[in-house]
Chain A
Amino acid sequence: MTTPATASWAKVAYGIDLNEANPIIIKAAKNGRSLAFENVAIDTLSSLPTHSVMAGCLLQKESFTRWLTAPIASAKKAEKVFPSLLDIQLPFSVENCEYSLLQTHPTADRTGTCGLVTGARTADIEKRLAVFSASGLDPHLLDQEGIALWTQALEEVPVVAGGPEARVVIYLSSERVTFAVGQKEEFLGAHTMRQLDVDQLNRMLKSYFPTPAPVTQWIITGPEAKAPEATETPWNSLALKWPGPMKVTRDPRFFLARALATRALTPGLIRCNLRTGRFLHPTLAQRLAKRPYQWATASLVAGLVLCSINLAWLLFVAQRTADIQKTFHSLATEITGSPLGIQKGQELLSARRSIESRTLAMEPFLAATEAPITLALPALLTVAQEEGLTLETVVMGLKNGVIHGMAPKWTQAEAACRRLNNQNWAATLERKESPPGEERVAFVIGIGRSHEKK
């Protein structure tokens, strides 16, 4: 199980820069998506609140950073050979180290994998922890100085599109000068020296950039950082060889502590914790030990939620089906007038049969109410009289009828038929042959209920 480099569970982080006699401590508190920083005294750390984490770092001189290249395109497979490659590069055995692979990316020709590794000898880690312990401190996380400087500089002085390609972050203190070098956002390496030695710096920069970059971004920070005067000889010499803008960070004294606190709280680029293995902080060890239980519990809860959702759905389906059945039975009972004889699932059939037999039995009642002939006959007689028709025979049943008659003109027969149609009767007109010598036009009108048209 890998040790997380960031304590994302924490709400507060204390970044400790043990650079000077008085340690510099910065408290970073999560404030929405941003962090609120505050300089605090060392006695604040005597009793840490829950959900807080302490982060220190291994100095550049106590640790190393290496870019390794494995001739394997698969990053996962390359990760397995990086320890051997590291072992070859280091002047001491990798088994005496704690190290961490921070980043991988394919080589330019995509046939291999590059990996950034940082680490420190266990002896150095022990020494560093002893230094912390002497100050009454027990950091949860041990970061790496050069990398912390690099990422914090990226955060505070972001890379500008079209800006300088080379980037140098210099941390100046009375004890040491540490600098991190990179190209755009990519970290290339970090080094340290007792005091600023421009020639050494120049040589090291040349090892990264054999052809000096046209413009170099200089970021100056640390307790001793100040904007260099143009006349200062060392800077003047550097500016001539590596020209570019020089920027002093805000609150440079607290920069490293701020970097450590930020990296401890927020996940991001190349985070690391070298306090692993046998050095792992008990609190983190406890958290790591809890993790399998947390995963198992989360899986159990997820499984139970899945079961619950499905059971709820099945219950809902059963309930809805029962409700529908109940409604069906109630309606069928209302239609048939009795719940007797209605079998489950046969409600519709029972209701249909009941309504059919009842409609048949209700016909005498319905006939009187609808009264088709009672209404049709007076209407027919009126229309015939007004249009001057002579009715010879009228035969009408409940649903239809036939009228034989004579009209003075065909148009009058047509008008009568139209008027009957307008009164919601379905009337059809047919011309018949008139008897010899008869000037009037013989016709037959078929009449039915308007809905019979359909």
Chain B
Amino acid sequence: MKKNNTTLPFLWGAAFLAVMIGVMLSIRSLSGLGRTTEIWDKKAKDLQELKAMRSIAAEHRSLLNHYAQFPSFAPSLGELAAKAVPGLSFMTRTTETHPALPGWTAKKVSIGLVDITGDDLGRFLKAVGNAAPPWAILDCTLSASPAPGRLAKVELVLETVER
């Protein structure tokens, strides 16, 4: 076997260098292993939170799509009351409008009903709940009437969103 005299020292030198670099890299990898695992664990938790937020965002989008199918304006409470309980006396006033999401406005209306039966109130509530877009009752105050089955006074605050 004819080999140059410099081959063996060169081989040993290269081997020494490779082993040293390998050992140094191993030390670096091993010392950073705990920190890497810690970071990955934290990232996994953050990922869970992001996924949960993504599902909330998806619910929001789905709700907006649902509202987008409704007419731009909600039916007035007067119309709904007249349709649900003909001859019902009431008094409405728009208390507030404020922008919701871009392109949408939230409208808050209060309505006062006097001397109404429980059944009529139920029909009215059903009508406002089924309207398109629906009215949501934010606040309600009922006062009993001495007459059985009737309510002396009903104060409702309702809200809807319109485009």
Residues of A at the B interface (CB closer than 8 Å) are: 286, 289-290, 292-293, 296-297, 299-300, 302-307, 309-311, 313-314, 317, 320-321, 324, 327-328, 331-332, 334-335, 337, 347-348, 351-352, 354-355, 358-359, 361-369, 371, 373-374, 377-378, 381, 385, 390-398, 401, 405
Contact with A310, one of B25, B106, B125 (Cβ below 8 angstroms)? B25
Contact with A393, one of B36, B126, B142 (Cβ below 8 angstroms)? B142
Complex: A371 Cα to B133 Cα, angstroms: 13
Contact assessment for A394 and B8 in the assembled complex, using a CB-CB cutoff below 8 Å: no
Complex: A354 Cα to B56 Cα, angstroms: 11
Contact assessment for B25 and A368 in the assembled complex, using a CB-CB cutoff below 8 Å: no
Shortest CB-to-CB span from B155 to chain A, Å, is 9
Complex: A392 Cα to B60 Cα, angstroms: 39
Where chain B touches its partner, the secondary structure class is helix
Q: Which residues of B contact A367 (CB under 8 A)?
A: 136, 138, 159
A368-B161, A393-B141, A393-B143 are known contacts. Are A378 and B122 too (CB-CB below 8 A)?
yes
Complex: A181 Cα to B18 Cα, angstroms: 53
Instruction: Name which residue of chain A comes closest to B10, CB basis.
Output: A296
23 A-B pairs within 8 Å (CB atoms) are namely: A296-B8, A297-B11, A299-B16, A306-B18, A306-B19, A306-B23, A310-B22, A310-B29, A311-B25, A327-B47, A335-B50, A354-B57, A355-B57, A361-B100, A364-B136, A364-B161, A365-B161, A368-B134, A368-B136, A373-B137, A390-B144, A396-B137, A405-B144
Further pairs besides A314-B29, A348-B50, A364-B159: 9, Cβ < 8 Å = A297-B11, A328-B47, A337-B57, A365-B100, A374-B125, A378-B125, A381-B121, A385-B118, A394-B140
Contact assessment for A314 and B53 in the assembled complex, using a CB-CB cutoff below 8 Å: no
Instruction: Name which residue of chain A comes closest to B43, CB basis.
Output: A324
Complex: A378 Cα to B141 Cα, angstroms: 14
Closest 4 CB pairs of A and B: A303-B18, A306-B22, A310-B25, A299-B15
Q: Which residues of A contact B21 (CB under 8 A)?
A: 303, 307
Instruction: Name which residue of chain B comes closest to A304, CB basis.
Output: B18
Contact assessment for A307 and B22 in the assembled complex, using a CB-CB cutoff below 8 Å: yes
Shortest CB-to-CB span from A300 to chain B, Å, is 4
Shortest CB-to-CB span from A342 to chain B, Å, is 12
Docked complex: B116-141 residues within 8 A CB-CB of A: 118, 121-122, 125-126, 128-129, 133-141
Complex: A395 Cα to B156 Cα, angstroms: 10
A310-B22, A371-B129, A371-B134 are known contacts. Are A286 and B1 too (CB-CB below 8 A)?
yes
Centre residue among B26, B29, B136, B144 by max chain A CB count within 10 A: B136
Contact assessment for A377 and B46 in the assembled complex, using a CB-CB cutoff below 8 Å: no
Contact with A373, one of B32, B46, B138, B143 (Cβ below 8 angstroms)? B138
Contact assessment for A392 and B54 in the assembled complex, using a CB-CB cutoff below 8 Å: no
Residues of B at the A interface (CB closer than 8 Å) are: 1, 3, 7-8, 11-12, 14-23, 25-26, 28-29, 32, 36, 39-40, 43, 46-47, 49-51, 53-54, 56-57, 60, 63-64, 67, 100-101, 104, 106, 118, 121-122, 125-126, 128-129, 133-144, 159-161
Shortest CB-to-CB span from A282 to chain B, Å, is 11
Where chain A touches its partner, the secondary structure class is helix
Contact assessment for B144 and A393 in the assembled complex, using a CB-CB cutoff below 8 Å: yes
Complex: A324 Cα to B50 Cα, angstroms: 12
Complex: A354 Cα to B57 Cα, angstroms: 9
Q: Which residues of B contact A328 (CB under 8 A)?
A: 43, 46-47, 50
Contact assessment for B11 and A300 in the assembled complex, using a CB-CB cutoff below 8 Å: yes
Shortest CB-to-CB span from A334 to chain B, Å, is 6
Complex: A311 Cα to B49 Cα, angstroms: 32
Centre residue among B36, B56, B104, B140 by max chain A CB count within 10 A: B140
Contact assessment for B140 and A396 in the assembled complex, using a CB-CB cutoff below 8 Å: yes
Contact with B63, one of A369, A377, A385 (Cβ below 8 angstroms)? A369
Complex: A446 Cα to B139 Cα, angstroms: 15
Instruction: Name which residue of chain A comes closest to B26, CB basis.
Output: A310
Q: Which residues of A contact B128 (CB under 8 A)?
A: 374
Contact with B47, one of A324, A369, A374 (Cβ below 8 angstroms)? A324
Q: Which residues of A contact B138 (CB under 8 A)?
A: 367, 373, 397-398
A299-B12, A355-B56, A361-B100 are known contacts. Are A371 and B18 too (CB-CB below 8 A)?
no
Complex: A303 Cα to B19 Cα, angstroms: 4
Shortest CB-to-CB span from A378 to chain B, Å, is 5
Contact assessment for B133 and A368 in the assembled complex, using a CB-CB cutoff below 8 Å: yes
Contact assessment for B50 and A368 in the assembled complex, using a CB-CB cutoff below 8 Å: no
Contact assessment for B40 and A290 in the assembled complex, using a CB-CB cutoff below 8 Å: no
Q: Which residues of A contact B16 (CB under 8 A)?
A: 299, 303
Complex: A51 Cα to B16 Cα, angstroms: 31
Shortest CB-to-CB span from B147 to chain A, Å, is 12
Instruction: Name which residue of chain B comes closest to A314, CB basis.
Output: B29
Q: Which residues of B contact A359 (CB under 8 A)?
A: 56, 60
A300-B14, A395-B140 are known contacts. Are A355 and B29 too (CB-CB below 8 A)?
no
Contact assessment for A335 and B54 in the assembled complex, using a CB-CB cutoff below 8 Å: yes
Contact assessment for B141 and A368 in the assembled complex, using a CB-CB cutoff below 8 Å: no
Complex: A299 Cα to B14 Cα, angstroms: 9
Q: Which residues of B contact A348 (CB under 8 A)?
A: 46, 49-50
Contact assessment for B36 and A352 in the assembled complex, using a CB-CB cutoff below 8 Å: no
Contact with B137, one of A302, A309, A377 (Cβ below 8 angstroms)? A377
